């Protein structure tokens, strides 16, 4: 049965080379166009990456240092992440509550350190059953971060 299938495929492939069979020739032309379009988009992507790299190098030479926000969009990603965590945490997601608590406790994800807010979020996460939140609260209390 597999042999019959392979024989049919083999026959169709050889018929594709026949000029009488226009359907297969059109498929080959479409495939080639798709391939060329893929090469074009690949080149655009490489050019964009190269330009970004060169901007980074020029900025570094002019300013002798690289600011975290001057050459990347990390701050936008942090902002988007914190808003997503906040929306999720407000809906009661324990992992998001824990992330919010850690963000405030350590000043991560673009948040300023705020021990009261960190305590609030970590307590909510611990109440909702997050095991690391309980440990983090214990560690923070033992280091007297929370009063």
The predicted pLDDT at position 55 comes to: 79
pLDDT higher at 121 or 46? 121
C-alpha 89/C-alpha 104 separation (Å) is 13
In this predicted structure, which of 24-38, 96-110, 126-140 has the lowest mean pLDDT?
24-38
What does 85-140 look like in DSSP terms, one character per residue?
Answer: HHHHHHTT-HHHHHHHHHHHHHT-TTPPP-HHHHHHHHHHHHHTT-HHHHHHHHHH
Q: What percent of the chain has pLDDT over 70?
A: 56
Q: What is the largest CA-CA distance in the chain?
A: 86
C-alpha 59/C-alpha 56 separation (Å) is 5
Residue in the block written with tokens 């080149």: 43
Q: Could you tell me the pTM of the whole model?
A: 0.52
Degrees to nearest 5, angle at CA 124 with 123 and 125:
90
- Helix axis angle for 131-142 and 94-106, nearest 10°, is 20
| Inter-residue contact 115 to 101 (CB < 8 Å) | no
Tens-digit pLDDT profile for residues 15-69: 555 554 554 444 445 544 454 444 455 466 657 667 777 777 887 777 766 555 4
Q: What are phi and psi of 135, to 5 degrees?
A: -65, -40
């Amino acid at each position: 049965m597999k042999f019959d299938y392979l024989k049919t495929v083999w026959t169709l492939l050889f018929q594709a080379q026949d000029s009488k069979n226009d359907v297969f020739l059109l498929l080959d032309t479409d495939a080639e166009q798709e391939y060329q379009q893929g090469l074009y988009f690949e080149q655009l992507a490489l050019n964009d990456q190269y330009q970004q790299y060169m901007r980074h190098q020029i900025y570094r030479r002019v300013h002798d240092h690289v600011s975290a926000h001057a050459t990347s969009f990390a701050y936008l990603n942090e902002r988007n992440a914190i808003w997503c965590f906040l929306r999720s945490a407000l809906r009661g997601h324990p992992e998001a509550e824990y992330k919010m608590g850690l963000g405030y406790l350590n000043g991560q994800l673009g948040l300023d350190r705020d021990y009261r807010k960190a305590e609030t979020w970590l307590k909510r996460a611990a109440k909702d059953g997050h095991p690391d939140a309980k440990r983090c609260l214990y560690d923070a209390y033992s280091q007297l971060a929370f009063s």
